[in-house]
Amino acid sequence: MVAKAVEKMILFYEGSVHDIEHFLKVWGYAKTIGELEGLDGDTQLTLELAAVAHDIACPLCRIKYGNTVGEHQQTEGIPLTKEFYSDFHLPEKQLERICYLVGRHHTYKDIDGLDYQILLEADFLVNASESQMSRRTIENFGKNVFRTETGRKLLSEIYQRCES
């Protein structure tokens, strides 16, 4: 099922290499962190499907708002995600959770589940590199947001030698 979502998302992005590579990296980190943190199968699937679609609103936001600010992504992402997964025949509760995660993946408070936590960590691991964040920003985010042992370890291993 995840492979089908990945294929569909690649087609959805219509050749936008940046968007395709970004979601693939976030999905890869989310999958890795979730598995190493021992998520149950349903939660892992929910996490991975949310990671695949987490930036689904970016193309629309670029057209509608001229940017991909997190607030816009979160607002526009929920209905797009619901439509994207409409032919996957997911249980309603699972689809609602996927949409919830996509609709909050730029909100760093009131994190109500390990799937949510991991999605934030996976997205940051990619954004830190893509946005060329400073060592101080990465360290502060790691200290204030990262909670999983695996996420913290990956953050440290990937960025311990980054330049300020």
The percent of residues above 70 in pLDDT, for the chain, comes to 98
pLDDT given at position 57: 96
Contacts of 10 (CB under 8 A, 6+ apart): 20
Q: What single-letter DSSP state applies at residue 88? A: G
- Residue 105, pLDDT score: 94
Statement: residue 164 has pLDDT above 60: no
pLDDT value of residue 153:
97
Max Cα-Cα span within the chain = 47
d(CA 95, CA 6): 16
Phi, psi of 54 (to 5 degrees): -55, -35
Contacts of 90 (CB under 8 A, 6+ apart): 49, 98
**pTM value surpassing 0.85:** yes
73 touches 58 (CB < 8 A): yes
Q: What is the residue-averaged pLDDT of the chain?
A: 95
Contact 61/69 with Cβ under 8 angstroms?
yes
**pLDDT single digits (tens) 46-80:** 999 999 999 999 999 899 999 888 888 888 999 99
* pLDDT, mean of residues 93-115: 96
Task: Quick: pLDDT tens for 124-146.
Answer: 999 999 999 999 999 999 999 99
CA distance 155 to 147: 11
> What angle do helix axes 92-102 and 70-84 make, rounded to 10 degrees?
160
Does the pLDDT value for residue 1 go beyond 50?
A: yes
- pLDDT value, residue 17: 98
Taking the CA of residue 26 as centre, how many other CA atoms within 13 Å lie in the half-sphere pointing to its CB? 31
